[in-house]
Amino acid sequence: MSNTEQTLSIIKPDAVERNLDNEIKQIFIKNGFNIFKEKKIQIEKSEAEKFYKVHETKPFYSDLCSYLSSGPIVAMILEKKNAVADNRKLMGATNPKDAEEGTIRKKYGISIDKNSVHGSDSVENAKIEIDFFFKD
Ligand code: UDP
Ligand code: MG
């Protein structure tokens, strides 16, 4: 399908640690996403700092990068029509307390930092983030 779009999703350490990765993958599949590629990896803090560079001036930047590199994560290329926006909707608000019923963060998120999933916020950033994890 020519209007298929790709986005980057990450199942974050808090969710992988609780063995929720298969359950969360099933939610993506049930909601019409194809998991085009995936890998389970642990990244260095220096790599997390590159990934989250857009947040480097934020007070939570260092803790965020320590957290993302604290344990295994599952990085995935998800695809469907409107993948970027539809994934953001399925994830729910950044703070699980504010996330709508039926969203991944509402169901699994522990706190604003341990919110179980990452998703690209624009088509442009999706390309950059996909390259970051899957370039080679
Ligand atoms: N974050 C945090 N404290 C905050 C805001 C954000 O720890 O006050 C973390 C949270 O894990 C979030 C990530 O930083 O998912 C990136 O923040 P962003 O605003 O881009 O949220 P997202 O796009 O993940 O919803
Ligand atoms: Mg973001």
Instruction: At 131, give phi and psi (nearest 5°).
Output: -60, -40
Q: Whose CA is nearest to atom 11 of ligand 1?
A: 113
Report all structural domains of the chain as residue ranges with CATH numbers, in order of start: 4-134 (3.30.70.141)
Give me the residue label for tokens 């986005």: 7
Closest ligand to C-alpha of residue 60 is 1
Query: pLDDT-based confidence at 2, cuts 50/70/90?
Result: low
pLDDT tens per residue across span 31-83: 999 999 999 999 999 999 999 999 999 999 999 999 999 999 999 999 999 99
Task: Report pLDDT for 136.
Answer: 74
Dihedral sign for Cα 93, 85, 19, 67, please.
Answer: negative
Q: Which atom of ligand 1 is nearest to the CA of 64?
A: 7
Q: Give me the mean pLDDT over the 104-120 stretch.
A: 98
Coil/strand/helix, residue 106: helix
Q: How far is CA 34 from CA 30, 52, 95, 133, in A?
A: 9, 25, 26, 17
Closest ligand to C-alpha of residue 109 is 1
Q: Give me the mean pLDDT over the 103-118 stretch.
A: 98
In the chain, % of residues over pLDDT 90: 97
Is the per-residue pLDDT at 130 higher than 80? Answer: yes
